[in-house]
Amino acid sequence: MAALREKGFAGATAREIAERAGCNQALIFYHFGSVAKLHLAALDRVSADRDERYRAVVDRSRTLGDLVAAARTVFDEDLDQGHVTVLVEMIAAAQFTPELRPEVAARIRPWRAFAAESMREALAGSPAARMAPPEELAHAVVAMYLGLEMLANLEGDRAPALALFDRAGKLASLLDVFRRKKRA
């Protein structure tokens, strides 16, 4: 994971990984079959760790505003720790490595499903629930999250992304007011 975060897909070679692990390169091929499969295993590990964290913050969210605040918190964490960088590197690699494309796409589908489920629950009873299907919103949220991560890393500045989260939080608070009025 560290090699992918720090060196990128192209730099996370068998030699680099073996050096970091303090082992022989042959062990990578023995245990994983290829470096690409090791990269996918690293992506699986990051995904499992982040899934646990994301579900915990979403489970504590009671309003759409809470959900946006949670997304902002995990976005900051992901930038600080480079979690999404692993996924971004794998997506970039999949563009030029056709055998990776279906593997990486399969690993993104659960994130879209999780986002759709979260959106469906958060928007229930709000005017926004009728405006856009949760699956479409989830696709946009996942794409936006990845894009914000890439731009923040490229520019070395997360302030524009955090400003978007703050604006989304204000909009979410407004939608939460409508939702509360409808329930009353």
Sketch the domain layout of the chain as residue ranges. 40-183
pLDDT value at residue 181: 55
Q: What are phi and psi of 127, to 5 degrees?
A: -60, -30
Q: pLDDT grade, residue 178 (50/70/90)?
A: low
Mean pLDDT within 61-89: 88
CA angle 167/157/146 to nearest 5° reads: 70
Mean pLDDT within 74-97: 90
Please give the model's pTM, rounded to 2 decimal places: 0.81
Structure-block tokens of residue 30: 């023995």
Closest CA relative to residue 52, chosen from 24, 29, 83, 23 = 83
Compute how many other C-beta atoms are within 10 angstroms of the C-beta atom of residue 151: 13
Q: Which CATH fold topology does 40-183 show?
A: Tetracycline Repressor; domain 2 (1.10.357)
pLDDT value at residue 174: 81
- Is the confidence at residue 25, as pLDDT, over 90? yes
pLDDT value at residue 21: 93
